[in-house]
Amino acid sequence: MALLDLRPDLRPSQALSPRLQHAVRLLQMSSLDFAALLREKLDSNPFLEREEGDVGDDPLGRGDLDADAPARADPPWAAGDRDPASAADESWRDGGPGPPDAQGADERALWQSDGGRGPGREDGAADALEGMAVESALNAHLHAQVDLLKLGQRDEVMLRAIVESLDDDGYLRSPLQDLVPVVALHPPASLEELRVALRLLQSLEPAGVGATSVAECLLLQMPAIASAQERQLATRIVREQLPALAARDMARLARCLGEPPKQVEAACDRIRRLQPRPGWQFGGERTRYIVPDVVVRRTAGGWTVQLNPAVVPRLRINEVYAGLFQRHRGAANAPLGVQLHEARWTLRNVEQRFATILDVAGSIVRRQCGFFDHGAMAMKPLSLREVADEVQVHESTVSRVTNNKYIATPFGTFELTYFFGRALMSSSGRPCSGTAIRELVAEVIAAERPTAPWSDAQIAHQLAEQGLPVARRTVTKYRQMMKIEAVGRRRRLAAD
């Protein structure tokens, strides 16, 4: 019979406090997410406030769209330079390129006399939103076309219900029978009526909308192919050999279809110009622009790293509120004490976050100075442990700092993870970075003759002759990462 026994077991272990876990999450955030979080804290915590002239918590510079934002500062030429418009007028008087257009001058004078008001506002109040482009959503675009159709009320209700059931790609993912209880009609809509409404929807623009599969979406766009022979062959490929088309297996396609490879390749090229997601050209998410966290500049002493002022928030404690709380603190004001402590903790987290980012970026720049002097060909192998040992933090901290953080360099803006890579040994025993080898592969392909491109095995052989023994599959991986076509495709493109 087994006996139950209790024994104490002492083991050392680490446990992150909630405060430390929160600091780790803040360190891992991107600059845009971190700025959004700080804006929420500014709105909810009365002890936090912006410093004057702060743009750090608005990396995209959208503060001018805020109705409560202060008036715009003086124009750049107010510090001593001339107004560009007046400078252009003086240049014309002195024999410059010519007078401005009379209509343009009248419009500028009207603008200045009107106090800077834009068109369409009778009250004279400037509205920055009037100058913004309006994105048309897919369902709004389709509803506008339905408005022009002469339909009965029953048909229109079914058609609009299907429009509202489309996803962002323009596909109808749900079965038609699931829409029967959704459509409020008496008697209820039949499945055949919904099929007729769906076919009517598929006749609208953009072509391919309302499809239930990728193949159906492409088939709906086949009338756009002008050549009847090419259209017939493309239709057969989509209906019968769609997996082979996705795999770019031209030999198998030509063999299965019994058609010349050149005609099959031409039909496949035409299919690839179709739109498999017709809804993407309407609405969608706004483009998220990359704002670098740090900037690298060359100085007399070498390369220097500094934080980008656009992403560094300038926050401070509201001393007036903090002083009032200290003079009237008590049990009734305990929640305010928590908020004051949270505000101070937030400032410490902000300082620690950007100090760590600056330290890690500085270590990367010091170790990859060859990249900043000569480009990607001079990139060295670099591991997280090397940077962690220099900055005296854990490897996981370096990993969090480098993800979704960007650095602006003379060669462009890169994510900090771009500068890390494992070492590949050359024939001389010296380590080489994978980034440098990738650049060498791109150079070899760029230098090849268009009519006789190199295969991946031949590129690997050339690199081996230069002292870099690289496997053929490694060359293939790097070529695909750079979105360079295979040798057969490059040869056919050169022949065309």
Range 220-240 burial, b when 16+ CB lie within 10 A, else e: bbbeebeeeebbebbbbbbee
Domain presence at residue 2 = no
Q: Write the pLDDT tens digit of every residue in 36-48.
A: 888 888 888 888 8
Place of tokens 């900055």: 391
DSSP 452: B
Domain presence at residue 110 = no
- Does pLDDT of 110 surpass 60? no
For residues 342 and 432, state if they share a domain.
Answer: no
For residues 201 and 327, state if they share a domain.
Answer: no
Domain presence at residue 13 = no
Higher pLDDT, 119 or 284: 284
Q: Name which of 182, 188, 185, 222 is nearest 202 in CA terms.
A: 222
For residues 155 and 276, state if they share a domain.
Answer: yes
d(CA 424, CA 379): 12
Report yes or no: 321 and 46 within 8 Å, Cβ to Cβ: yes
pLDDT, position 256: 86
For residues 154 and 276, state if they share a domain.
Answer: yes
pLDDT, position 15: 61
d(CA 267, CA 226): 12
Report yes or no: 293 and 415 within 8 Å, Cβ to Cβ: no
d(CA 356, CA 28): 11
Instruction: Residue 472: give its domain's CATH number.
Output: 1.10.10.60
What the block records as the tokens of 257 is 């279809």
Higher pLDDT, 72 or 478: 478
Amino acid present at 378: A
For residues 407 and 436, state if they share a domain.
Answer: no
CA geometry: angle 241, 242, 247, nearest 5 deg: 100
- Name the domain boundary from 358, 392, 417: 417
- Name the domain boundary from 281, 304, 326: 281
Q: What radius of gyration, in Å, describes the C-alpha atoms of the chain? A: 32
Report yes or no: 335 and 68 within 8 Å, Cβ to Cβ: no
For residues 147 and 276, state if they share a domain.
Answer: yes
Report yes or no: 401 and 415 within 8 Å, Cβ to Cβ: no
Domain presence at residue 289 = no
Q: Name which of 266, 173, 180 is nearest 214 in CA terms.
A: 173
Domain presence at residue 271 = yes
For residues 407 and 447, state if they share a domain.
Answer: no
pLDDT band, residue 482 (cuts 50/70/90): confident
Domain presence at residue 135 = no
Report yes or no: 174 and 210 within 8 Å, Cβ to Cβ: no
- Does pLDDT of 485 surpass 90? no
pLDDT, position 76: 35
pLDDT, position 88: 37
Q: Name which of 315, 313, 415, 309 is nearest 360 in CA terms.
A: 415
Q: Write the pLDDT tens digit of every residue in 153-211.
A: 888 989 999 999 898 889 998 888 888 888 878 888 888 989 999 999 999 998 999 99
For residues 166 and 199, state if they share a domain.
Answer: yes
d(CA 440, CA 459): 10
- Name the domain boundary from 417, 443, 471: 417
* Residues 6+ away with beta carbon under 8 Å from 381: 421, 422, 423, 424, 431, 432, 433, 434
Name the strand (E) or helix (H) holding 145: helix 138-147
For residues 160 and 254, state if they share a domain.
Answer: yes
Name the strand (E) or helix (H) holding 412: strand 412-415
pLDDT, position 248: 78
Q: Write the pLDDT tens digit of every residue in 273-330.
A: 899 999 888 765 556 678 899 999 988 888 999 999 888 888 888 888 888 888 877 6
pLDDT, position 282: 79
pLDDT band, residue 13 (cuts 50/70/90): low
Place of tokens 């065309």: 496
d(CA 313, CA 61): 13
Domain residues for the domain of 236 are 142-281
For residues 348 and 442, state if they share a domain.
Answer: no
d(CA 421, CA 310): 29
Q: Write the pLDDT tens digit of every residue in 451-475.
A: 888 898 989 888 888 888 888 888 8
- Count structural domains, the chain: 3
Q: Name which of 222, 218, 180 is nearest 198 in CA terms.
A: 180
- Mean pLDDT across the chain, nearest whole number? 78
For residues 355 and 341, state if they share a domain.
Answer: yes
Domain presence at residue 88 = no
What the block records as the tokens of 326 is 């200290």
HSE-CB at 232 with a 13 A cutoff on CA atoms is 5
HSE-CB at 230 with a 13 A cutoff on CA atoms is 14
For residues 165 and 273, state if they share a domain.
Answer: yes
DSSP 190: P
Domain presence at residue 240 = yes
